[in-house]
Structure 1
Amino acid sequence: MGLMIVLGLLGAAMGSFAALVAERLVRGEPFVAARSHCRGCGTALAAADLVPLLSWPLLNGRCRHCGVKIPSVLWQAEILGAAMGVAAAWVAPDPLRALLLGLWMWSLLALAVADLRWFRLPEPLMAAAALLGLAVALAGDGYAWPPLAQRASTAILGAALGGGVFWAIREAYFRLTGREGMALGDVFLLAALGLALGAPRLPLVVLFAAGTTLALSLLRARRKGRAMRRLGRVPFGAALALSGVLVALLPGFV
């Protein structure tokens, strides 16, 4: 219980940090040393404005200085980050593996935020998700089974098959239609997920992501009164990232 509380609180902070990193990477801004500030008035935010889970609702989702609206996705990222931390503590066999699993999921959360808000999957976040995913795969279940060499080969095969299949689909669609139906970032993201999850779990990731994207597209089309073909781009990368988290938490992963 103690570990769940600690990782839950850490996850709320990491969710806020994930949203910050996603935004600054997309904008080409530094994200380590620079202080958080309001996008509306430029005022540097105090500690009271940055308390995870609490500041957004207490401020009614607006800057206390100029009243500009703060995107609700930032608060939602804190909630998801906290939930991921609790889930990591619940399913992992020990604290170190729980923290590693949490870090991997928070990197995917940052990718999801970037894709939802800007239709971008920043390369540094992709690299972080891939490296953390490989570390999760190599860490295993804490009982040295399967052997390390088998874990490594499973991870590499998962990345190769995941990225290879999506690349083939992307190429085939382009050759048939002359248009890009899938961003290259989605190809790299499925390869990164393959490192952590292995090839057997990737079809479930794609199924969840496709189902979620279709459902949200239908709701969006109905709300806007448009045909689905006129909706434009959809953040499939975000659906892939969050589906990867969900599949990782299913029984038997760690």
Structure 2
Amino acid sequence: MTLALLLGLLGAAMGSFAALLAERLVRGEGFVAARSRCRSCGTALGAAELVPLLSYPLLGGRCRHCRAPIPPVLWQAEITGMLMGVAAGALAWDPWRGLLMAGWMWSLLALAVADLRWFRLPLPLLALNAALGFGMAMAGDGLGWPLPGDRLTIALAGAAAGGGAFWLIRAAYARFAGRAGMGLGDVLLAAALGLALGIPRLPTVVLLAALAALSLAVIRALVKGRSLRRLGRVPFGAALALAAALVAVFVPY
């Protein structure tokens, strides 16, 4: 319970950082030393404003200085990051595995934000997710499963299955439709998810992601009064990322 509480508190900060990291990587901006500023008026944000979990509802979702709307994704990312931290802390058998799993899910959150807002899956975030996923796979569940000698094989097989299947789908669609229907980032993300979760849980991830993407497309079609064929791109990478986090929490090995 203590670990879940601590990772939940850390998760609120990491959720905000995940959204910031996604935005700055997509824009090609620095994120280590650069101060956070309002995108509308350029004013540097104070300490209280850097905690959207509190400042967003208190300020009515607007900048304190120029009253420009604040993207709600910052507040939503803090809540999601907090929930991810609590889940990782509740499931893990020790702090190391809890922090590793939480970090993996926070990197998925950053990828989801980037894809939802800009239809991009930045390569540094994909690499970070793959590294954390590999570490999670090699650490096991804390009870000796998978068997230590099998962990590397399971991880590599999952990466090959996830990335290979999505590459074939991408290539087949491009061959018959004459245009790209899936970005290379989705292929790399599928490989990274297979690395972390293994082959058995990948079908559940893809099914949940497909249902989420389809539901989003239908809602957008109804809101905009358009047919599904005219909606354009769907952020399937975001659906994959969030579905993977759910499967990691609710679907055991």
> Which deviates more, 136-145 or 29-38?
136-145
**Secondary structure of the residue that 1:53 maps to in structure 2?**
helix
Distance (Å, rounded) in 2 between the aligned partners of 1:159 and 1:122 = 18
Matched residues in 1 for 2:46 and 2:114: separation?
24
Cross-structure match for 1:155: 155
* Structure 1 equivalent of residue 212 of structure 2: 212
1:27 counterpart residue number:
27
Gaps of 5+ in 2: none
Q: Deviations over 1:9-32 (max 9, x none)?
A: 100000000000000000000001
Q: Normalising by the residue count of structure 1, what TM-score does the alignment of the two structures yield?
A: 0.98
Matches within 5 A, 1:1-254: 1-253=1-253
Q: Contact conserved, 2:114 with 2:122, CA < 8 A, in 1?
A: yes
* Aligned Cα root-mean-square deviation (Å): 0.9
CA distance in 1, matches of 2:121, 2:251: 28
User: Does structure 1 conserve the Cα–Cα contact (< 8 Å) formed by 2:217 and 2:228?
Assistant: yes
Please report how far the alpha carbon of residue 251 of structure 1 lies from its aligned counterpart in structure 2 after TM superposition: 4.3
Q: Retained in 2: the 8 A contact 1:133–1:196?
A: yes
| Deviation, structure 1 residue 147 | 2.9
Q: 2:52·2:74 contact (CA, 8 Å) conserved in 1? A: no
What SS does the corresponding residue of 1:54 show, helix, strand or coil?
helix
* Residue ranges of structure 1 left out of the alignment (5+ in a row): none
User: Shift of residue 149 of structure 1?
Assistant: 2.9
Question: Following TM superposition, where does structure 1 have runs of at least 4 consecutive aligned residues deviating by more than 6 angstroms?
Answer: none
Q: Secondary structure at the match of 1:200?
A: coil
CA contact 1:205–1:244 (8 Å) conserved in 2: yes
Name the count of aligned residue pairs. Answer: 253
- Give the conservation status (yes or no) of the 8 Å contact 1:204–1:247: yes
Q: Kindly, what percent of the aligned residue pairs are identical?
A: 68
> d(CA) in 1 for partners of 2:232 and 2:44?
36
Question: Per-residue deviation at 1:173?
Answer: 0.8
Deviation at 1:145, TM superposition (A): 3.3
